Structure 1
């Protein structure tokens, strides 16, 4: 099994999608449920139903198999990275009912799995999530596992870090783990998002190192300067917003919408970041599928595009000294 404990895919440019009608949903579950005896039975059944219903993935898993496996293991309170030993285990009636209820909700509500289970994973890090925040799925998390090497030469020298548009607080928490000497600011304009972030910061015991700030990007941060700034801002272009599948409509739209070309917030970040970076400091921003538009808009900036699991087009890096060219 491919473990679901990994960053989900970045939101792609999506074609218009029509949700299944009630009549189409009705035959997806029925009398055949009584013949589902083992985990293997439920897994096969779930993959078939998910594909039949035309579900869209991208909130932690990228396909019907991984999502079905995750939901089944979660409902049965089994380790999320261990499927094989349990495939032929027979379920009790209560266990089967719990699994089927979760699978039915995924199909009928078209709600991302993370909102059904109230959890999302970035690598080995688990975060509480609900509909007040988008489901964590940033490629920046992959770079933080390596402490932003080689662009940060000495992780111990990072004393101040900032996560702009923090949402659930996931990247701020990863910053605190990647740079143990750093005090971290986590900024977001949404009070709802900051409430979720507060819960996650508390769960990780980081209240003394992660400060939550209500701010429209840099506006409430005063003269603060940082050694590292990361941001996964809203970057979905208007055309893509109008074509979102039902799963994405459950997320707060203000956390997705990036204006006509997806660069509305990125432009503001680039205009202000140098004033909030220390000399030698690093800016890391995720921009989805907007690389060409960004490079056309800022031809004088020497963007660096690190390799992630999705290629080298989704996250850019700039140092303090680079931003003077803008």
Structure 2
């Protein structure tokens, strides 16, 4: 099929039609930036041809060079046969207006947290300049740390990951955005070894439970397993974060964590916590917010630092 297509497809329109048919035939799963075969095909083709990714129509009837057709078809076949996410084929992923370099050392960025930074957090963080220091746990590609730096221009951001491979990718993105002076990449396991306290902590940690890990579509098998699974119920990392967050938050500090489809399990495990579930494009059951005061009142850790009498240091 590949050689026949290379000999008979001449225009962008031809390639779009072929790619959509090929993707549908292959029964692909879409969860890494697009939701259907057409959008996936259009993006892959435009990106491969170095065309604007938001302007397909003007180029539909453009005739292509044989090498251009070959380049596109090679990636279409990899997507269809190997089930490689398009972001890994193009080494690019988008969140809102931000694009990031990605490869198979990191998850393809898809966290809802980026939608909540800035104005949506105004009820808890009244002014952006109130965030002097922020922490991104499980930073992966560094995408959330970079967007935190954008929304809170006075903040220094610590970006933590246990994977050295992920931090190498994050370094590429931090440099691309010129944020080397404001975003510090740290190799550690969650809070281990950190000495700072923060006004804002965000995390998109691993949260897939054991049963779901066994049933993941092939596309997700290309992503780092350590960035997906989190124990039997998917909450191992979230529990560790909740246990220590109070000690790492400043007074009135905010914790923002994404947990996938685990809302009911989490609420059952922590009935004493007043989770605030924030509305995202995916719904209101994926990202929760807690303040340091919420955590302390629920008995989850003691605030730090404290004065000699044990009172909060303000």
Question: 1:148 offset after TM fit, Å?
Answer: 2.6
The whole-number CA distance in structure 1 between the counterparts of 2:177 and 2:154 is 16
Moved more, 294-303 or 57-66: 57-66
For residues 169-205 of structure 1, what are the alpha-carbon distances to aligned partners after superposition, in whole Å with 9 as ceiling and x for unaligned? 1100000001000000001111111111111111111
1:114 corresponds to: 87
SS class of match (2:272): coil
Higher relative contact order (CA 8 A, sep 6+): 1
Question: 1:92 offset after TM fit, Å?
Answer: 2.1
1:178 aligns to 2:178 (yes or no): no
Tell me how large the CA RMSD over aligned residues is.
1.3
State which of 92, 95, 103 in structure 1 corresponds to 2:76.
103
2:256 corresponds to: 284
TM score, norm. by length of structure 2: 0.92
| Alpha-carbon spacing, 1:171–1:101, altered in 2? closer, same or farther (3 Å) | same
For residues 142-193 of structure 1, what are the alpha-carbon distances to aligned partners after superposition, in whole Å with 9 as ceiling and x for unaligned? 1125363333211111100000000111100000001000000001111111
2:308 corresponds to: none
Contact kept? 1:147, 1:155, Cα under 8 Å: no
Moved more, 87-96 or 300-309: 87-96
Question: 1:95 offset after TM fit, Å?
Answer: 1.6
For residues 205-243 of structure 1, what are the alpha-carbon distances to aligned partners after superposition, in whole Å with 9 as ceiling and x for unaligned? 101000111111101212x11000000000001001011
Give 5+ residue unaligned stretches, structure 2: 299-314
State which of 268, 276, 286 in structure 2 corresponds to 1:314.
286
The whole-number CA distance in structure 1 between the counterparts of 2:36 and 2:136 is 29
1:295 aligns to 2:267 (yes or no): yes
Aligned residues: 298
The whole-number CA distance in structure 1 between the counterparts of 2:118 and 2:245 is 23
Show structure 1 runs of 4+ deviating over 6 A: none
State which of 272, 277, 281 in structure 2 corresponds to 1:305.
277
The whole-number CA distance in structure 1 between the counterparts of 2:99 and 2:235 is 29
Contact kept? 1:102, 1:116, Cα under 8 Å: yes
Moved more, 149-158 or 125-134: 149-158
1:65 corresponds to: 38
Contact kept? 1:238, 1:260, Cα under 8 Å: yes
The whole-number CA distance in structure 2 between the counterparts of 1:280 and 1:267 is 21
State which of 200, 221, 225 in structure 1 corresponds to 2:197.
225
Question: 1:79 offset after TM fit, Å?
Answer: 0.9
The whole-number CA distance in structure 1 between the counterparts of 2:193 and 2:60 is 52
The whole-number CA distance in structure 2 between the counterparts of 1:291 and 1:266 is 11
SS class of match (2:181): coil
2:214 corresponds to: 242
- In the TM superposition, 1:1-326 aligns within 5 A as 27=1, 29-144=2-117, 146=119, 148-222=121-195, 224-326=196-298
Contact kept? 2:162, 2:187, Cα under 8 Å: yes
The whole-number CA distance in structure 1 between the counterparts of 2:3 and 2:217 is 26
